[in-house]
Amino acid sequence: MDTSLSSLHSSLFTLHSSLKVTLLGTGTSGGVPSLGCQCDVCRSSDPRDRRLRCVALVESATTRVLVDCGPDIRQQLMPLPFKPFDAILLTHIHYDHVGGIDDLRPFSVFGPIRLYGDQKTCQHVRNIMPYCFGEHLYPGVPKLELHEIAPHEPLHVGDLTIVPIQVMHGKMPILGFRIGSFVYITDMKTIADTELPYLEGVETLVVNALRFEKDHHSHQLVDDAVRFAHRIGAKQTYITHVCHHIGLYTDAQKRMPEGVTLAYDGEVITVDAE
């Protein structure tokens, strides 16, 4: 391992408190139930079969970070304490991951809302929300601060060290995020071998898998996600960003190998950050 990677691993494991990760949404771009669908999953009364768009809340004792901000964010945040976020991490610009940014405007009472994404994502946010940027802002718009980040460059937010990881969403490079021994990746199809050293020592993995069968051009299937989890040596893996074709929760969970769990909305994961 080169010197920079060694230094990075050292900084990652200076954390001593646990992380609380709440999966506020675990569904694919259209959510589950799917509009107009009458399949068993979409008609299920099991709350674990109802999935809002992917969002995760990561909390330490002193720091609160949101990963993505999709179009269901108002509904997802309504039951939670109204407290500021130290950062909003954006994986990429697709609507199901950024479509709820405007709904964060009430949090402007705490000060600027700090959004972190790669150069392309930040530019697109400016393009789709021009009314939030410029000299003469419309009264009441969310107070947004955009911060460009890059893969492998650690971001220090409160007591957290966050390392962006680059994965490929089809042909589109997007970001995943590592915090201590925890990593969150969504919308991945492939990952370069050069990224793997940045995932050494990961114990808890949240990663996307659309369904079991029928290959997709820009998303993993469950077998892909399981192979990836084994490749990096994750001890516990949670499957997110799934569609109704995954099947009923109770049936799909039975098909998961040891150490792999089908995540559901509202699931809380406690991660040892050391």
CATH number assigned to the domain comprising residue 195: 3.60.15.10
Q: How many domains does the chain have?
A: 1
What is the arrangement of strands in the sheet containing 204-208, beginning at the earlier edge strand? 155-157, 160-169, 172-179, 182-185, 204-208, 236-240, 260-262
174 within a domain of the structure (yes/no): yes
Q: What CA–CA distance (Å, rounded) separates 99 from 33?
A: 19
Domain that holds residue 8: 3-263
**Is the residue at 273 inside a domain?**
no
Domain assignment of residue 271, yes or no: no
274 falls within a domain: no
Helix (H, G, I), strand (E, B) or coil at 65: strand
Residue 246 lies in a domain: yes
- Residue 145's Cα: distance from chain center in Å? 20
Per the domain annotation, does 272 fall within a domain?
Answer: no
Bridge-based pairing of strands 160-169 and 172-179 is antiparallel
Cα dist. 111→6, 31, 84, 142 in Å? Answer: 36, 31, 8, 10
Is residue 127 in some structural domain? yes
Q: How much is the pTM?
A: 0.94
Instruction: Name every residue whose Cβ is closer than 8 Å to that of residue 30 and which is 6 or more positions away in sequence.
Output: 96, 243
In this structure, how many other beta carbons lie within 10 angstroms of the beta carbon of residue 68?
27
Q: Which residues pair with 224 in a beta bridge?
A: none
Provide the residue-wise pLDDT of the chain in tens; the chain has 274 residues: 565 665 666 555 544 479 999 999 999 999 999 999 999 999 999 999 999 999 999 999 999 999 999 999 999 999 999 999 999 999 999 999 999 999 999 999 999 999 999 999 999 999 999 999 988 888 899 999 999 999 999 999 999 999 999 999 999 999 999 999 999 999 999 999 999 999 999 999 999 999 999 999 999 999 999 999 999 999 999 999 999 999 999 999 999 999 999 999 999 999 985 5
Q: What is the rounded CA–CA span in Å between residue 66 and residue 57?
A: 5
CB distance 104 to 142 below 8 Å: yes
Instruction: Count Cα neighbours of 97 within 13 Å in the Cβ-side half-sphere.
Output: 23
Residue 140 lies in a domain: yes
